[in-house]
Homo-oligomer: A and B are copies of this chain.
């Protein structure tokens, strides 16, 4: 098969030029006689790769020197513990907003370390909306306020950045980082598992305001201590070097595409045409309140669930892969991250329309 359109929620499709470059450099990075994955993390070559990746990310996301950028391991799920361990300090109370399955996972892990106040939840509305911030029951003395800007499974995305006052705002941006501009200065901490918009799995990027460093609780494993990681430029121990390199290639590619502004325009177009088609189809449906529909993850159901198997089989045959919805919600889901070209969305809509003609 030639390259397919891969709608997987994560690990997800990477830009083809990135994969081509990685392929071409696999046995010999720029005449060094080594693959990047064979380089000492302390070598001049790798340090340059690592620093360039950070610099490009800072430029793309508009990250000031008030923030440290960390390249850690353990994914977002690791951060679910790392965040409270590092940010609680002497405090015991934290605020979380519950808008879906990933919010719930973050809350469950935080409860093991802190008293979690669920400041707002849309669970009673099936996670189809984001509670209006005027109704949030936040506390002025919380160690932080945590939310999930994009729920990968539900396909729900905030269209605003919450106002957390003087309480540090913490966001799990795993599935929408770099997909459109965000004012980083509004946040105390942003974390993102790499395997959607950044690179391969096994890497998690953390952006933390420097005044929040140095508060880790005594039981924090050293590998999870943000201060230690910041002091050592994320090389306290051997980092995930090859994933870091690939993230750097993705950042370069993003810059070549025009950066996050260009991604915003593209992602808006891609998601709008897919939602517009779904709404007009009379056959497919998406349950999310339109204002909060995710630009990254588009779940949809068929008018008749018994056709799901035929839909997926036909899609596979056309190279439209991994459209099955998450096992917890069923139906379909098209994840259309930065690396999904508009032609992939067009091909999906074509297929969906053809399927309706045949089965609708």
From residue 26 to 41 of chain A, which have CB atoms closer than 8 A to chain B? 26-28, 31-35, 37-41
Residues B37 and A78 in contact, CB atoms below 8 Å apart: no
A114, B127: Cα distance in complex, Å: 43
Residue of B nearest to A79 (CB): B223
| Chain A 290-301: CB-based contact to B (< 8 A → 1; otherwise 0) | 000000000000
- Minimal beta-carbon separation of A255 from chain B (angstroms): 21
Residue of B nearest to A224 (CB): B221
- Minimal beta-carbon separation of A220 from chain B (angstroms): 9
A213 contacts B by Cβ under 8 Å: no
A243 contacts B by Cβ under 8 Å: yes
| Chain A 193-213: CB-based contact to B (< 8 A → 1; otherwise 0) | 101000011110000000000
A69 contacts B by Cβ under 8 Å: no
Residues B201 and A241 in contact, CB atoms below 8 Å apart: yes
A222, B105: Cα distance in complex, Å: 11
Residues A75 and B322 in contact, CB atoms below 8 Å apart: no
Residues B37 and A27 in contact, CB atoms below 8 Å apart: no
Partner of A14 from the list B14, B35, B112 (CB cut-off 8 Å) is B35
A2 contacts B by Cβ under 8 Å: yes
Which residues of the other chain, B, contact A202 by a CB distance below 8 angstroms? Answer: 73, 202-203, 239-243
Which residues of the other chain, B, contact A41 by a CB distance below 8 angstroms? Answer: 11, 201
> How many copies make up the complex?
2
A136 contacts B by Cβ under 8 Å: no
Main SS at interface, chain A: loop
Residue of B nearest to A241 (CB): B201
| B-binding segment of A16-24, A58-66, A93-101, A143-151 | A16-24
Residues B112 and A218 in contact, CB atoms below 8 Å apart: yes
A132, B75: Cα distance in complex, Å: 42
Most chain-B Cβ atoms within 10 A of its Cβ — which of A237, A239, A319?
A237
Residue of B nearest to A32 (CB): B1
A354, B105: Cα distance in complex, Å: 61
A265 contacts B by Cβ under 8 Å: no
- Minimal beta-carbon separation of A251 from chain B (angstroms): 16
A200, B38: Cα distance in complex, Å: 7
A154 contacts B by Cβ under 8 Å: no
Residues A78 and B223 in contact, CB atoms below 8 Å apart: yes
A156 contacts B by Cβ under 8 Å: no
A347 contacts B by Cβ under 8 Å: no
A219 contacts B by Cβ under 8 Å: yes
Which residues of the other chain, B, contact A219 by a CB distance below 8 angstroms? Answer: 112-113, 219
Question: Could you give 16 example pairs across A and B, Cβ below 8 Å?
Answer: A2-B33, A3-B27, A3-B34, A6-B34, A10-B238, A11-B238, A13-B38, A19-B26, A23-B26, A41-B201, A73-B74, A73-B240, A77-B222, A85-B221, A195-B241, A201-B242
Chain A residues engaging chain B, CB cutoff 8 angstroms: 1-4, 6, 8-14, 16, 19-20, 22-23, 26-28, 31-35, 37-41, 43, 73-78, 80-82, 85, 109, 112-113, 193, 195, 200-203, 218-219, 221-224, 236-243, 246, 319, 321-322
Task: Apart from A10-B40, A200-B242, A201-B240, list 15 A-B contacts with CB within 8 A.
Answer: A1-B28, A2-B28, A3-B27, A8-B40, A11-B41, A11-B238, A11-B241, A14-B35, A73-B74, A77-B236, A81-B222, A202-B203, A202-B241, A221-B221, A242-B243
